[in-house]
Structure 1
């Protein structure tokens, strides 16, 4: 009796193991049903693919050629394996579609073939694709654990989706969906996540090709120099006199291998570096800094006492520093906002005047300071070598300003001298004519903008100005845009202004917003860069999302930052460097770009083989028992 009971237990255990083996086998095999189109191998091979819809006539000979904008990859999702839809929403059939999926990372085994050929995807049709894997990989999504979907077809640029994933058994969790389509501009993107001590250089597939590590978290500004050195500002500690966001206090330079070459600090009770830095052609560095003004100083400059709730005010200035290696530097030029003020509040002060009559000056009583103290909150710098001018973004005034750099420091403090005869007064301003009483709220164009920069000479729009317009205080609704404006400047760098009117232009010549504007909103930081092929690289700072759009506003590249962690992934700005940029140092580009993927650990492979063998064994054993 006991033997018979033991025999039942053994058979029950074997049966449970058999069921488990079949479940695993099912999870590792493609799911097929009667609607799956794989019986006709001329149509589709390897993947599970289902027709979703067909509702368009594709026989019109006058229709244009299909394009990448007609072929879409949608509804990418995890679960038991990976599923997504390929959709042709154009008016022409698309033929000879080559679909390939690769895996990169550790401990992943594929149970669906990598590649399939779709001979025809009629207009209006969609196909559902299923991809099955089994394995264990998680924890380093920027380096490992990626599924790469690549689609090629005649007359259509390559489409690539790069998925950052976790895989646990047959379960796939999609962490982020990046893209790298054929119309994107090749190069390497430099960024430093906020609250991170590391700076990364990534290729277009999102692989880290190089990195630098500091002892301090980023302060917002960084550049890769043509000699391969990295310069970045950073925050050593919060200055109690200047505790708001954007404060830095330190600039440091590393060589390509990460050796600290130079450091410069300015952070005390009266002054503190903040936000951005800009490299000059002569190797000097432009830096933004705050300076503290007490209530009596502000009132002496015509500030309304009612606009001093904190009893102090911060204003900004620009310094040009000549580095002294390995520590320190000489300030060889400087420009202060405080030297270029106008006000209508106190007629007893020297700077009293009609604001509207002085667009070259800054109204000390205009604008609501951030944190009640930061009156300008300048947040970006750019330098124009052709005109020897500096472009500044003023967050509080919702304006960009241009000043003459071809001055002595004394001339920069006055209203005459320099290349343009205006000393340090504003040569140009744009974004909010209310700041100089030449417009109303309907005329305001910028809303808490960042990263104003001239478009480089080798890019479409050369000499125009590109600005990330955060849209923080728009009157209608909150959304962000990237705006390109054509300043009214002649070949010598002089800006046209008709007396009594606002500076032109009336509107941006080009602007990017999301198709549904509120889908793209970055209230802080962020930036944009025009690329040589006409595309625009955009950084959605608070969300840590970088993407590239064509002049037709089609997204052709996207990268999701997951550093330093999945909770805080902000990145204030990004810069792209072409493959032939001199500053790209010693790393094997080919090895990085073509790194093999899809490997799995031999132990995992061993487990898979055991499960397969057990499944066969249990099947044979049950057949034997049934025949007893």
Structure 2
């Protein structure tokens, strides 16, 4: 096990941090700086392409601004190649599938669940932008939110809030009064594209896997430290008055292991669940490949949530986008996260990207050491050379690419950065689509946040049926040469 504290060797300063909505921008220096090696550097740009080098993954970048109903595909030069239009704002993730469909949840405007990440409808759009299938997970008692995951068998995993009443909360042994609590569930939907329907064929509920040590009359009373596979419903997290108890914000599936990982922002940890169970087994503590039913096989980031450490042992802080790295990539089989408030322990405001080696065994099991799950340190870490230059207290994500680079979406500023394994920045782009529309170059793009960003190879099979064409930059006023 090793810890690699990697700092980027250079990072182009963002002028966005030096301007307010009321400031006027005065252009200085020259914008176009194309070198003989093909590097394009637009260091004074406020939006669009900031940097492109030959080390960047040869791929298209897909993103869906949170304040826009459009999803955009751009090339490495920042030129628009394709746009999908929807009737909904994103909620929040999006995936371009190998069959050519864009998988995109949408926000239906629920008034029963009003919180960041709210959604309610899942759509599949084809190459013409036509909705070929949709499915609602929206009512007064449940709502899809944040993320979905497409499985190789064509099914879709969905995270959804499910509402619990004050009586149910009290019966479960929660000691502080709350009028209602939004717990979490995972459902697996089997779409029927011909009929336009879907069937829930598997589900898991967090409510079935809770423990507490304060109300001895409740059925789930027990020793928290002796039950690492369960959630302590009375854990005192930062926003314990909010109904959004766990705030799952990401889901990923590992077909080889037949396991699911979900990320909890409130508890600052991620959980791995056995998917081999039946729905009935998933509601218990027995069954499935590992004999643990729906209890956690593994959790990591904040051992004090299960009474196996203190604040000094916490290593994740409101993280997002927990995902398995492809086994063929560098650090394959490990889990990457965007650690939003990594500087919390030092009192500073900065984010990091981290890789965790879960040390999973060949049979898919995990190791407890002195009551806590291993490892004790990160496998790989990226922070900016000036840490505060990369900070997003919410949303955001990071994905390892096939060439060993890492694509980072700093969500709050809509900034996409690709770094190599040594931490050097090789590509950078700022989303020009704001809440008020597309901004011109040298204007400040306020409210241009993006939940996540992805890259797809230029020869990706899912793009075979698309008539891609270079439409120039999304924003107006960008004037540079890019090779």
Same fold (TM over 0.5): yes
2:3 corresponding residue in structure 1? none
Q: Is contact 2:100-2:463 (8 Å) kept?
A: yes
Report the secondary structure of 2:71's partner residue. Answer: strand
1:316 corresponding residue in structure 2? 184
1:338 corresponding residue in structure 2? 207
Q: Is contact 2:432-2:448 (8 Å) kept?
A: yes
Of residues 150, 157, 160 in structure 2, which corresponds to 1:289? 160
Shift of the alpha carbon at 1:457?
2.0
Of residues 439, 443, 446 in structure 2, which corresponds to 1:567? 446
Q: Is contact 2:159-2:185 (8 Å) kept?
A: yes
- The 3 A distance-change label for structure 1 pair 354 and 540 is same
Shift of the alpha carbon at 1:159?
1.8
1:214 corresponding residue in structure 2? 86
Whole-Å separation in 1 of the counterparts to 2:282 and 2:293: 5
Whole-Å separation in 2 of the counterparts to 1:408 and 1:177: 48
Of residues 129, 140, 147 in structure 2, which corresponds to 1:258? 129
Aligned length: 451
**C-alpha RMSD of matched pairs (Å):** 2.7
Give per-residue Cα distances to partners, 1:64-91, cap 9 Å, x unaligned.
Answer: xxxxx99999999x9998625xxxxxxx
1:278 corresponding residue in structure 2? 149
2:29 corresponding residue in structure 1? 83
Whole-Å separation in 1 of the counterparts to 2:166 and 2:14: 58
Shift of the alpha carbon at 1:533?
1.2
Structure 1, unmatched stretches of 5+, are 1-68, 85-146, 166-173, 601-628
Give per-residue Cα distances to partners, 1:90-142, cap 9 Å, x unaligned.
Answer: xxxxxxxxxxxxxxxxxxxxxxxxxxxxxxxxxxxxxxxxxxxxxxxxxxxxx
1:356 corresponding residue in structure 2? 225
Counterparts in 2 of 1:114-133, with a 5 A limit? none
Whole-Å separation in 2 of the counterparts to 1:518 and 1:227: 40
2:19 corresponding residue in structure 1? none
Counterparts in 2 of 1:487-498, with a 5 A limit? 487-498=358-369
What is the TM-score when the length of structure 2 is the normalising length? 0.87
Shift of the alpha carbon at 1:512?
0.7
User: More relative contact order in 1 or in 2 (CA 8 Å, sep 6+)?
Assistant: 2
- The 3 A distance-change label for structure 1 pair 240 and 460 is same
Whole-Å separation in 2 of the counterparts to 1:290 and 1:196: 24
Give per-residue Cα distances to partners, 1:423-460, cap 9 Å, x unaligned.
Answer: 10000000000000000001000110000000012211
Whole-Å separation in 2 of the counterparts to 1:542 and 1:480: 12
- The 3 A distance-change label for structure 1 pair 352 and 219 is same
Structure with larger Rg: 1
Q: Is contact 2:394-2:412 (8 Å) kept?
A: yes
Is 2:268 the counterpart of 1:398? Answer: yes
Report the secondary structure of 2:412's partner residue. Answer: helix
Q: Is contact 1:448-1:473 (8 Å) kept?
A: no
Q: Is contact 1:203-1:593 (8 Å) kept?
A: no
Whole-Å separation in 2 of the counterparts to 1:288 and 1:333: 12
Of residues 366, 389, 394 in structure 2, which corresponds to 1:519? 389
Is 2:253 the counterpart of 1:383? Answer: yes
Q: Is contact 2:261-2:322 (8 Å) kept?
A: yes
Report the secondary structure of 1:573's partner residue. Answer: strand
Of residues 34, 38, 53 in structure 2, which corresponds to 1:150? 34
Report the secondary structure of 1:323's partner residue. Answer: strand
- The 3 A distance-change label for structure 1 pair 242 and 370 is farther
Whole-Å separation in 2 of the counterparts to 1:441 and 1:197: 40
1:366 corresponding residue in structure 2? 235
Report the secondary structure of 1:446's partner residue. Answer: coil
Structure 2, unmatched stretches of 5+, are 1-7, 16-23, 438-444
Report the secondary structure of 2:451's partner residue. Answer: coil
2:18 corresponding residue in structure 1? none
2:5 corresponding residue in structure 1? none
Q: Is contact 1:411-1:418 (8 Å) kept?
A: yes
Report the secondary structure of 1:572's partner residue. Answer: strand
Of residues 185, 190, 200 in structure 1, which corresponds to 2:57? 185
Report the secondary structure of 1:583's partner residue. Answer: helix
Q: In terms of mean alpha carbon deviation, does 365-374 or 195-204 score higher? A: 365-374
Q: In terms of mean alpha carbon deviation, does 487-496 or 428-437 score higher? A: 487-496
Shift of the alpha carbon at 1:471?
0.6
Report the secondary structure of 2:162's partner residue. Answer: strand
- The 3 A distance-change label for structure 1 pair 599 and 508 is closer
What is the TM-score when the length of structure 1 is the normalising length? 0.68
- The 3 A distance-change label for structure 1 pair 373 and 589 is closer
2:461 corresponding residue in structure 1? 582
